[in-house]
Structures are given as structure tokens and as C-alpha cells.
A and B are shown apart, each in its own frame.
Chain A
Amino acid sequence: MSKYTEDDLKVELENKEYEYGFYTDIESETFPVGLNEDIVRAISKKKEEPEWMTEWRLEAFRAWSEMTEPTWANVHYTKPDFQAISYYSAPKKKDKYASLDEVDPELLETFKKLGISIDEQKKLAGVAMDIVVDSVSVATTFKKTLAEKGIIFCSISEAIKEHPELVQKYLGTVVPQKDNFYAALNSAVFSDGSFCYIPKGVRCPMELSTYFRINQAGTGQFERTLVIADEESYVSYLEGCTAPSRDENQLHAAVVELIALDGAEIKYSTVQNWFPGNKDGQGGVFNFVTKRGLCEKNAKISWTQVETGSAVTWKYPSCVLKGDNSVGEFYSIAVTNNFQQADTGTKMIHLGKNTKSTIISKGISAGKSQNSYRGLVQISSRAENARNFSQCDSLLMGNNCGAHTFPYIESKNPSAKIEHEATTSKIGEDQVFYCNQRGIPTEKAIALIVNGFSKEVLNKLPMEFAVEAQKLLEISLEGSVG
């Protein structure tokens, strides 16, 4: 009856270019492709690292050389050629900038396109930015305010030089070098990333955020993040990602380690919006990430993630609930459209007594995408009175996508209480018509329905992130009802 059909809408939106698909032409210093011990040494040298760090990297490289890529995830892709990647790329200007005037104007332009000009961010009270562009931190703000509280927030390279005792004590303690193929690779070649230390009893007065960007054609990005919350401290950390579009696949293998000492709390929120590939499934970022947190006694770690980007996602932010009474939480929205594939979830490892974990996962699949939740709840024999609640909901759009759930439960303690709930639903034509009848166009109706579906997780995000996340959901799913 109406002239503008859903099919028209679909076509229009499939042709919509990736919003952040632009490429900044900054002079970069790039290593020759390939990976061997010399390259690992060269990276370490380039970064003026101490001997122990070089050795640590080499150890990881040797372990990696013996490992093979995991194949158990429910994703299918052409394996990257690890010898065809350049493992180091940094903007040529070596020194840190004292003021914005010194920053490469093209880089500033990039930030502008992203809507996150540093200038603006500086004024945005409460948000300190440590922006990682192509692996090297180029701007750090609010450092002074943080320093007054004894909080250290800097690039990991800087931390290796300035705070070696902390880095040496904690790096690799939650995600060991040999943990898995991608973690080993990251440990050998990580270029940069963020470091954060909150001293005993300190509540970090602002949300800490880092924007990561992949910027150089053909360079993989290997960030390393280490967050240490000392006893009775609190920090909320935000990580947001966008990347320019590329024809060839880009590899991203990050490692994030969180350490929450006795009574500490870490809230780690991510919005991931890397290039998902075009509508034919070409290009897009391979996102193979290892994120894990360790909770000591009475500590709490919350992971919140909104995953809308990447061609292939392999990511399981996990909590090791080592200390008694510790709490782990995982709130996730994973959206896949077109040919995207996501295999994501969490692991809650209950070691201490009275440990509690909550998992809320919302998977939204559209187009020809595949969206899998994979989770493990493990209760060890000495974890008396451990409790877990898991809820996995899937929302499907159209008839060509898939939603899968792989929940694993291993309980070795009879006092454990574990609950698992799961639902699968489809956006119905009747729901869309109901909205239409009230004057809400289809595109907006879908955004409304999806936001409603994801509400429990969106509510967990810090305010400024929640708004951005809602917009991302709309952009990612427009025109996908069928």
C-alpha cells in the first residue's frame, strides 16, 4: 500500500557508509612486516623499555610461537597472516605535546570528526582523556587533578618507565603471557595502552576514559591496559572505540587486566564501534580481546559492554572471584548486522566463599549475522555459598540471522545456587505496526524496541556513555527489520 517499503529502507541503509570511516593522513613510522625475536626487541627498544620488560615480551613471543589459533568459537573467517602485519606504528612526532597547538592539525581534525575534540573534552568536567591514536598516547588531560589524589593515569609505556614496581608486580598476573594465543601475541608486541592505579581508600573523582583508534592501514593494534584499584578504592573506567574503514581486515588483540584489591570496586565500561565490514561482509576489524579481572576479599568488578562493531568479535570479559564475599558482574549488549559474527560472553570463576556473580547478556542479530553468547560459571569446591544469576536474551530481526547460546556451568560445591534464564524473541510486524499507528516511523520504532530490550544493560552505563550507546544501537540496526 505504501510506496516506501521495508525493502527500500534496507537498501538505503545498507548503502549508508560507516559513519566514522575516514582515514587520517599523518606521517607514521612503521616497522617492516613480520614477527620474530628481533622485531620484539626492536619494539621494546623503540619504547626505551628496561631489560626486564624486553625479557617479558620475549618470553611471551616464544610461548606464542608454539601456540595455534583457537578454533572453538562459533565464528568463521580467513585467518590473518601474522607475518604480513607490521607490529609497530606511531605518529612520527616523538615528544608529548604541551598544548593543543603542537598537536598535528590533521589529528585534531580526526578528533573533530569523531566529535571528541580534546578541547571540548577538557572542558567536560569529570572526564579525563588519555587518547590512544595508533598506539602512542598523544594527549593526557586532567592529570593534575588526579595526581593530587595520588591517582596514576598514564600510558602503559610511561608506567613501565615511571612506575616499574607496580607494573612488574601486576602485569600478567591476571592474564598470563601464555593464557591464550592472542594474549601471548599481545604480550610480545603490545604497543601501548593505559595504566591506572588508585591508591588505598581513594574514590576516583571522575570517570576515566580512553579512546582507542586504529589508524594506520595494515597495522594491527595491540593495546595493553592495566588497572589496579588498591584496598577500599573505587574507579569507573570508560573505553570507547571507533576506527576508520578499511578494505583488508584489521587485527585487534587487546589485553585488559583489572586488579581489585580488598574492598575495592572497579567499573569498566566499553562501547565498541569498530568498522564491521561492508554490507557484503568485506573488510572489518577482527576483535580478539582478552579481558579479565581479579577480585580480592570484598572486592567488586563490573564489566559493561556495548558491542556494535567489528567483523568478528571474540571476547569474554571475566572475573576471578578469588577473595571471600567478592562480586563479579557482566552486563552486555552485542549487536550484529549484515555479515558480522560475534562470540562473546563471560567467565565467572568463583573461588572464594560467599562470592556472587550476575550475568545479563542481550544479543541482537540482524541481516545475515551470527551472534553467540558463550559463558562459563565455575564454582570451585571451596567456594561455599556461591551464587550466580545469568540471563541471556536474544532478539532476532529477519529470517537470515542466528542467535546462539552456549552457557557452561561447572559446580563443585553443593551449596552453590545457580540460576540461568534465557529468552529468544523476534521483533514482530505487529509491534512495528502498533508504533506506526501511533505516528512512529519504522526506523524509529525499531530503535525504540531495541532500546527497550537493552534497557537493563544501558542503565548500567555512565550517563554520557548511555546516550552514545543508544545512538550506536540505532545506527547499527537501522533498516534491519524483515
Chain B
Amino acid sequence: MLEVKNLHAKVEDKDILKGINLSVKAGEVHAIMGPNGSGKSTLSAVIAGNEHYEMTEGEIILDGEDITELAPEERAHKGVFLSFQYPVEIPGVSVTNFMKTAINESRKAQGLEEMPANEMLKSIREKSELLEIDRKFLSRSLNEGFSGGEKKRNEIFQMAMLEPKLAILDETDSGLDIDALRIVANGVNKLKSENNAIIVITHYQRLLDYIVPDFVHVLYKGKIVKSGGKELAYELEEKGYDWIKSEN
């Protein structure tokens, strides 16, 4: 599904990613772990097409198609979804209105008609139940005054609505208490299928108890320095990142 080849990227003349290779197949869950500043968030932003980062080398291939030159919205239309670590506020735009716009823009790009209102409402009802979201919440302005947990739950709600092929969850566990973490993780697990793939970016093992990865990669100084199965996450938890640092 996703092939990242020799990816280099920099921001404001500072090299952040220095040759990332990553291969994700449909139905798989990959975890990317690493200490602060290792380039985890940069990797997710570059895959999503954030133009703040300059990609200097490499390729990003989605379903056999090179998407390196595509605008972020075009990547989104092809099924790339990023759950933000710090979702931004958009005052005066309700969650529902935002989702309606997003879904219809994607449909438009695919040459489809707008989603009929009743279908939209049905989908909203189903997905909000899945994530145990009070529907009153959906008429509030996007992320404005949301608690950390509400913001993250809202991100996953959007993922549920948009049904992406590739979902990248950037530090989705940060700011979540244990109950919220369970709800969010349950939601993600229910959305998981043979046809989509998930990349979980996290600092801690904690989230991986709920969303169990098939593969774990350790990112350090802009490179993947270790890959393994889910047991690698436990090893990291036990030994700490100093273990990685001392080896590199």
C-alpha cells in the first residue's frame, strides 16, 4: 500500500529525515517509536504533503502511484489521513459542517455527487456512537475549547467518517486519560480492516497495548535504526531510549 523510499526532508535548512525506507501492506499496523526530535512528526507531515517541509530526496508511493508531487488535498482524496498531534481550532465552523465539506470535496474529486443528507446523518450517527461521542459535541466549533481528549477523539471520529486507506496517527495517545485512550483505541481497532493500513506514531508502549502493531520501527536522528515485531516495543519500554542512543 505505502512504499517510502530513501526519504530525505528538511525544514528551514535543517535536515530532519535522512533516508527513511518503509513498506506498509494493506491490513497491517506499523508503529513508529523514537525519542523526541527523532523526526516522527516530520515523517507523518511529509507523507501527508505539508509544504512547510521540503522533501529533498526519495519517493512516496501509494498503491503503486508516486504521490510525491501531489498537493495535500490530492493525497487526502487518494485515502491518506493524518490524525494530528495538535489539531488546530477553526472558530465558527462546526465539526459537522467541516466533515460535510471534507467528504463532499473528496467525492467531488472522485467525480461523485455530494453525499445525500440522510446518508451523511446516518454515517455521523454510527461513527459518533462508535467513538462514544455525544452528538451535541458535533455542533461545536472545530476543536475550539475542546479538551485534549476531545480533540483526539474528534480526530478519530474524522478518520471514521472519511474511511481512509492509510491512516497515520501522530501521538494520538498524548493528552488522553486511560478511559479516553481505551475508547480511541477501540474505535481504531473497529476501523481496521484487510483493506486499510495504520501507522501509529508514539512515544510510549502504552497505546500499543490497545492497538497491537504487526511491526515496530525505531526512528532515531532521522533514520529507522531498528525494526521488529511488537516485542520490540516492550524491549524499548524496558531499556529506554538510551539503549538506542548508545548503539547509534
List 7 A–B pairs whose Cβ atoms lie within 8 Å, in order of A's numbering. Answer: A437-B72, A438-B102, A439-B73, A439-B162, A448-B97, A453-B91, A454-B92
The reply to whether B76 and A438 contact each other, CB–CB distance below 8 Å, is: yes
Contacts of A456 in B (CB 8 A): 92
Stretch at the interface among B63-71, B130-138, B220-228, B237-245: B63-71
Interface flags, B72-83, vs A, CB<8A=1, else 0: 111011000110
Q: Contacts A436-B73, A441-B105, A451-B92 known; A1 to B98 CB distance under 8 Å?
A: no
B214 in contact (CB, < 8 A): no
Q: Hey, what's the 0/1 contact readout for A278-319 against B, CB within 8 Å counting as 1?
A: 000000000000000000000000000000000000000000
Among A436, A444, A451, contact of B71 (Cβ-Cβ < 8 Å) = A436
Chain B interface size range:
35 or more
Interface pick from B31-39, B45-53, B114-122 = B45-53
B178 at the interface (CB under 8 A from A): no
**Which interface class (under 10, 10 to 19, 20 to 34, 35 or more) fits A?**
20 to 34
> In chain A, what residue has the closest Cβ to B79?
A439
User: B-side interface residues toward A, CB under 8 Å?
Assistant: 48-52, 54-55, 68-74, 76-77, 81-82, 84, 87-88, 90-93, 97-98, 101-103, 105-106, 109, 141, 158, 162
Additional 13 contacts, C-beta under 8 A, given A433-B50, A436-B76, A439-B106: A1-B54, A2-B69, A2-B70, A2-B72, A437-B48, A438-B102, A439-B73, A439-B109, A441-B71, A444-B101, A448-B97, A452-B91, A455-B92
Cα A257 to Cα B106 with chains together (Å): 48
Whole-angstrom distance between the alpha carbons of A3 and B69 in the complex?
7
Q: Are B93 and A444 in contact (CB under 8 A)?
A: no
> Is B72 a contact partner of A436 (Cβ separation < 8 A)?
yes
CA distance A438 to B142 in the complex (A): 13
The 6 A-B pairs at the shortest CB distance, nearest first, are namely A452-B92, A452-B93, A439-B76, A2-B71, A436-B72, A455-B92
Using a CB–CB cutoff of 8 Å, the interface residues on chain A facing chain B are 1-4, 428-431, 433-442, 444, 448-449, 451-456
What residues of chain A lie closer than 8 Å to B93, measured between beta carbons? Answer: 448-449, 451-452
In the complex, the chain A residue whose C-beta lies closest to that of B84 is A434
The DSSP consensus for interface residues of chain A is helix
Least CB distance from A394 to B in Å reads 13
Chain B residue nearest in CB terms to A431: B88
Minimum CB distance partner of B92 in chain A: A452
Nearest Cβ distance between residue A315 and chain B, in whole angstroms? 24
- Chain A residues with CB under 8 A of B102: 435, 438-440
| Chain B residues near A428 (CB-CB < 8 A) | 88
Report whether A4 and B71 are in contact in the complex, using a CB–CB cutoff of 8 Å: yes
Q: Name which of A434, A438, A439, A455 has the most chain B CB atoms within 10 A of its CB.
A: A439
Most A Cβ at <10 Å: residue of B49, B55, B81, B101: B101
CA–CA, A435 to B49, complex, Å? Answer: 12
Given contacts A448-B101, A452-B141, contact A429 B52 (CB under 8 A): yes
Residues of B within 8 A of A4 (CB): 71
Contact A438 B98 (CB under 8 A): yes
Which B residues are CB-close (under 8 A) to A454? 92
Q: Which residue of B lies closest to A4 (CB)?
A: B71
Q: How far is A134 from B91 in the complex, measured between Cα atoms in Å?
A: 41
